[in-house]
Amino acid sequence: MNSRAAEPGLDPLQARRPDKPRIGITKPAGKDWLVHLALSLSVRIAGGIPVKVTADQPRAPGEIDGLLLSGGLDLNPHLYEGEHDPARKYDDARDALEMAWARQAWDMDMPILAICRGCQLLNVSRGGDLLQAIDPEVLETYPTSPIGYALFRKDIDVNDNSRLATITGSNRLRVNSLHRQAVNQPGEDLHVTACESHGGVQAIESDAAHFVLGVQFHPELLIHRRDMRAIFGAFVSACRPS
C-alpha cells in the first residue's frame, strides 16, 4: 500500500501522487485566497502538490517536503525589537506558527522558499532584523494601485554565482513590488544576494546544503515569465523525496 495513503491530513490527490513533493504554503486563516491560489498554481506548474498551512491547520513535519513562507501583513515588531505601530494590523497567531515552522524547517534541512513577508520572517527567525519603513522618497517611485504593485517592474542586481542568479540565469532581474518593509541586518547563516538601485535588499540566501532562498518580490504574480517559473521549479525539485 502507498505509505502516504495512510497518513492523516492528506487529501486523495496527495495519496495518489507520492512522486510529487508536498509543499507547505503558509497563509492567514481564512484570508489572502488570491495570493494563495497564485502560489498553489505556481507550485503545481513546477510539479509539486500545495498543502495549506495555517494556524488552524498547522500540519506536522511528516506532511510536507518543503516550506513556502508566503506574503501578507507586516510582522509584529516585537519579534525583532522594533517599534510598535498602532496604525498597523498584526497576526500574532500566524507569526507564531511561521516562526516555529521556519526554525523547524531549517533544523531539519527542509528546503525553504520565502516570499516578501516570508523573506522578512525567515531573516527574523535567524536573528536578523528589518527596515521597518522604506524611505518615503523611494516609495513615491512605486505605483499605488494593487494592480500596479503586482505588475510594476523595477530592476534589481543579483550577485554572480548566487543561487538566484544560477536559477534564473541572470544577474539582473525585473521584478514587482508589494512591500513597505525589508530585510535590514541579515540573520545567522544568511547573506544578501540581490538589491535594488537604492540598496534595498531583494534576496537573501544561505550557503547551507539544503535549498534556502528568500525573495522580497512576488514571483507567483509573474509566473508567465520563464525566470520566475524557474524559481518555483528549482525549489520544488529540491523538495523531491530522495
| pLDDT tens digits, one per residue of 58-87 | 999 999 999 999 999 999 999 999 988 888
| pLDDT tens digits, one per residue of 136-149 | 676 666 666 667 66
Confidence of residue 7 (pLDDT cuts 50, 70, 90): very low
220 among known catalytic residues: yes
**Cell numbers standing for residue 156:** 534589481
Query: What is the amino acid identity at position 143?
Result: P
Query: Given 36, 63, 116, 205, which residue is catalytic?
Result: 116
What pTM value is reported for the model? 0.89
Task: List the chain domain ranges.
Answer: 3-239
The two most distant CA atoms of the chain are separated, in Å, by: 60
Q: What percent of the chain has pLDDT over 70?
A: 87
Confidence of residue 43 (pLDDT cuts 50, 70, 90): very high
7 among known catalytic residues: no
Q: For residues 218 and 50, give the distance between their C-alpha atoms in angstroms, rounded to a whole number.
A: 17
Superfamily of domain 3-239: Class I glutamine amidotransferase (GATase) domain (3.40.50.880)
- The answer on pLDDT for 4 being more than 90 is no
Query: Given 63, 98, 218, 239, which residue is catalytic?
Result: 218
| pLDDT value of position 5 | 41
Phi and psi angles of residue 4, each rounded to the nearest 5 degrees, phi first: -75, -25
- 100: nearest Cα among 43, 24, 164: 24
Polymer length of the chain:
242
Confidence of residue 17 (pLDDT cuts 50, 70, 90): low
Q: For residues 232 and 223, give the distance between their C-alpha atoms in angstroms, rounded to a whole number.
A: 9
195 among known catalytic residues: no
Pairing of strands 212-215, 182-183: unpaired
Q: How many CA atoms lie within 13 A of 107 on its CB side?
A: 8
